[in-house]
Amino acid sequence: MEHVNGKTVVITGASKGIGAATARVLAEHGARVVLAARSADALRTLANETGGLAVPCNVSDYGQVEALMEAAGKVDVLVNNAGLIDPIARLEHSDPDAWGKVVDVNVKGVYHGIRAALPRMVAQGGGTIINISSGAATGALEGWSHYCATKAAVLSLTRNADKEMRDKGIRVIGLSPGTVATDMQREIKASGINPVSQLDWDKHIPPEWVGQAIGMLMGPVGDAYSGIDFTLKTNKERSLVGLPPIA
């Protein structure tokens, strides 16, 4: 992944899970990582490990996201990773305030990242935005109305941003990794709702694999996935990343 070396990559939700794993993978390949999350202590620890820049940020607040981009300076790549799934509940038992909070992070947070990054990328003559998506974007799962609806919105944002920005040299790509061994899967397991909660832990892929896929999509291979979701749920796509086939 020579194309990763020297790039400045802003990663939201970077304090744990996919975000932290991605930061480690990209830093190992020479990227300058700018780490954003609400957990300042965890960010500082990861920044010390990766040589990156820690910027505490709540992505649901546009002013904080704009400040994040200012702190980053040049933004070659934005990884919109921050997301919530808790609390999981059937619609008739859902809490409207909690449902709205998921929208604030999962949808508005992605929009805020795109909106704050685009002027900088246009001025630079190009860039790449990778939005973490999900199979939930195109499917319905019991107890996940908030997650399915917000991921569907993220897929639409990917499509719209690609349509508007491709001719300016900006690639907007979705990444649907499948189930990943992170704290989110522990929340899903604890809910006991829908088949995903019944999966054994060894069915989930390591978060480092998602980091490797992001690194690959930063390069020329990503051109073919502008405006759509790249998935790690097929052997074709896994082979592009250099990952083992599905068992």
**Residue from 62, 111, 147, 225 carrying the catalytic annotation:** 147
Q: For position 162, what pLDDT does the model report?
A: 98
Buried b / exposed e over 145-182, threshold 16 CB at 10 Å, is bbbbbbbbbbbebbbebbeebeeeebbbbbbbbbbbbb
User: Which domains does the chain show, CATH number per domain?
Assistant: 2-240 (3.40.50.720)
The parts of the chain modelled with pLDDT lower than 50 are: none
The answer to whether 147 is a known catalytic residue is yes
Cβ contact 150:168 at 8 Å: no
Six token digits for residue 66: 């704009």
- Position 213 scores a pLDDT of 98
Considering the entire predicted model, what is its pTM?
0.96
Say what the pLDDT of residue 247 is.
80
Q: pLDDT tens digits, residue range 92-141?
A: 999 999 999 999 999 999 999 999 999 999 999 999 999 999 999 999 99
In angstroms, rounded to a whole number, what is the distance separating the alpha carbons of residues 119 and 65? 13
pLDDT at res. 1: 86
